[in-house]
Structure 1
Amino acid sequence: MVSGANDSQTPAIVSLAAGGVAGGIEAFTSYPLEFAKTRVQLRSQKGIPTPKNPFLVVTQVYKNEGIRALYKGCGALVVGSIAKDGVRFLFFDQIKQSFADPQTGTLSPLRNLFAGMTAGVVASITAVTPTERIKTALIDDARTEKRFRSGLHATSVIWKEHGLLGLYRGFVGTTLKQASATAFRMGTYNILKDFETKRQIQQNTATNFANGSVAGVVTTLATQPFDVIKTRSQSAHGASTVEAVKSVLLDYGVRGFWKGTSMRLGRTVFSGGILFTSYEAAVKVIQPLYDGLGRKEGVGAV
């Protein structure tokens, strides 16, 4: 589990709640960089090239459209991240507890990656694909037709025009991204943490943040093509996975599959540190409350 051998019996409800809190904090604080990355990955408007520098994208949008524009689609991402990270921390922790070495509470690197991959697939099905679809559609629509008034309105319009499948547009790309990203992010974080635990390296906010940042770098470099395909599939009008792949190759060639890498790196290094630091802190707050409630009501751990 994420918190190390000593916490191997963290109840499922604690993993779910702490993951949700961490996901919401991470999504909100890093959203402007996510916004910039998505803008770059979408097809450029004719005659209006999109800068490669994420901070320049943020600056231009702020000057031309105001601060609210930088948070277009943020609500959908925050809601999705609360659900996504709650689910994937829950499943990752439960899978890790099942396969961990009973003596040390740790997993082999391969099993760490497998646990993360499984958690990513579940998260994509239950939360990530529809909320990412709404977020991406809102960002794309804001620079073109401007027909979506809010996340709820976008959801309603897409549902009326395309049904449930419209909300799951880009499911293949999103699931590939989530499976691989969660495998690398949570796998790398836990490999580093297990390594430190065995060598009795003290775990604190600094080490949590550093481990999360390293995990973010590994995740970005390994999974960027899936992220680009997902973004193209989930534009305002949508596209199939095959159409998305073709459009990237047509626009930029093979190098296009790493479009937005610098922007995503800037976000994942920052957000990876925030996510795992927030999770560890949330567990420390929620676990005693849960234990106290359990003792008061005579309820055992889930």
Structure 2
Amino acid sequence: MVSGADDSKTPPLVSLMAGGVAGGIEAFTSYPLEFAKTRVQLRSQKGTPTPRNPFLVVTQVYQKEGLRALYKGCAALVVGSIAKDGVRFLFFDQIKNSFADPETGTLSPLRNLAAGMTAGVVASVTAVTPSERIKTALIDDARTEKRFKSGLHATRVIWAESGIFGLYRGLAGTTLKQASATAFRMGTYNILKDYEKARDIQQTTVINFANGAVSGIVTTICTQPFDVIKTRSQSAQGTSTVEAVKSVLIDYGVRGFWKGTTMRLGRTIFSGGILFTSYEAAVKIIQPLYSGTAHTIGAEA
């Protein structure tokens, strides 16, 4: 399993629920930094350079547009993150349980990465792409046309104009990003945890947060190009993955694929720690309740 207080396997429903809770908490608490990162990756208006410091971007938006502007598109990301992380933890836990060494309960580093990649692909198709498309379109629209009133309104407009394909604009880029990001994030976290487990290092909140933060650093550095392509594909007007790649090269050259890295690091270090710490805590709360309910139902049967 990805986490938990003991060595028992995490039931699928517990993985799904705990992952959803953790994803929602992580998305809401770190959203202003996600907002700043997305603003930087979108095409800037001529004569209006965007600062690289994420906290400066957040401050400027807050001063000019207010607190609500920093959470534009947040609802779409929170809903998507609840579904995304529920699915990611569910599939990762089940894959890990299936391929783990029966004696140690651990996976090789390569299998950890492969399990994360599989979970990322499933999450992208089922939840991430539509929610990311709406979130990115809202952030882009807020600085240009301002025609979207809310996430639901944006969904209706995009659906009316382009159908389901409009909501899945950027699927290839998003799936590449999710597959690689989940592989590195979940894989790195579990490699660290297996290493600590082999050396009898106690899993505390501080250790969980530190492992999550390290996994966030590794994930960001290795997957930033996919994130940039995904953001360009899912702007308010929308574009294909190939066109997104071309636009980045035209605007900034190869270095453009790592645009927003500093801002994303600010979020992923913070969010990685929150995500895994929240998941660990949620499992500890939900699993006993689930086990008690299952036991009661079994006894009545």
TM-score (norm 2): 0.98
**TM superposition shift of 1:5:** 9.3
Alpha-carbon distance in structure 1 between the residues aligned to 2:17 and 2:134: 24
Residue matched to 1:163: 163
Structure 2 residue 173 is the aligned partner of structure 1 residue 173: yes
**Cα contact 2:4–2:283 (8 A) shared by 1:** no
State the partner residue of 1:32: 32
Contact 2:4 2:280 in 1 (8 A): no
Task: Structure 1: state its 5+ residue gaps.
Answer: none
Measured on the aligned residues, the alpha-carbon RMSD in Å equals 1.1
50-59 vs 87-96, greater mean Cα deviation: 50-59
Shift of 1:108: 0.3
Name the counterpart of 1:154: 154
Matches within 5 A, 1:212-251: 212-251=212-251
Residue 141 of structure 2: aligned partner: 141
Answer whether contact 1:4 1:193 (CA < 8 A) is retained.
Answer: no
Equivalent position of 1:90 in the other structure: 90
Query: Which residue pairs with 1:125 in the alignment?
Result: 125
Task: Please list, as runs of the form range in 1=range in 2, the aligned pairs for 1:251-262 lying within 5 A after superposition.
Answer: 251-262=251-262
Deviations 1:107-166 (A, max 9, x none): 000000000000000000000000000000000000000000000000000000000000
Q: Deviations for 1:188-234, whole angstroms, at most 9, x for unmatched residues?
A: 00000000001000101000000000000000000000000000000
The answer to whether the 8 Å contact 1:106/1:194 transfers is yes
Letter aligned with residue 274 of structure 2:
I
Aligned mates of 2:8, 2:226 — CA distance in 1: 32
Cα distance in 2 between the residues matched to 1:52 and 1:298:
57
Contact 2:4 2:284 in 1 (8 A): no
| Change beyond 3 A, Cα 1:189–1:179 | same
Residues 180-191 of structure 1: pairs in structure 2 closer than 5 A: 180-191=180-191
- The residue aligned with 1:16 is 16
Identity of aligned residues (%): 83
Q: Contact 2:184–2:219 (CA<8 Å) still a contact in 1? A: yes
Q: Distance in 2 between matches of 1:6 and 1:33?
A: 34
Q: Counterparts of 1:180 and 1:65 in 2: how far apart (Å)?
A: 34
| CA deviation map 1:42-78 (0-9, x unaligned) | 0001221111111110001000000000000000000
- Tell me by how many angstroms 1:282 deviates: 0.1
Contact 1:4–1:105 (Cα < 8 Å) also in 2: no
Stretch of structure 1 that moved more, 8-17 or 93-102: 8-17
Letter aligned with residue 235 of structure 1? S
Paired AA for residue 51 in structure 1: P
Letter in 1 for 2:218: V
Distance in structure 2 (CA, Å) of the matches to 1:259 and 1:36: 12
Alignment of 1:282-301 (within 5 A): 282-298=282-298
- SS class of match (2:105): coil
Partners of 1:227 and 1:30 lie apart in 2 by: 17
Deviating 4+ runs (over 4 angstroms): none
Q: How many residues align?
A: 300
Secondary structure in 2 matching 1:298? helix
Partner in structure 2 of residue 66 of structure 1: 66
Does 2:278 correspond to 1:278?
yes
Aligned counterparts of 2:199 and 2:55: Cα–Cα separation in 1:
39
Query: Shift of the alpha carbon at 1:295?
Result: 1.1
- The answer on whether the counterparts of 1:76 and 1:131 sit within 8 Å (CA) in structure 2 is yes
Shift in Å, 1:6: 3.7
Residue 7 of structure 1 and its aligned partner are, at CA, apart by 3.3
Q: For residue 54 of structure 1, what is the aligned residue in structure 2?
A: 54
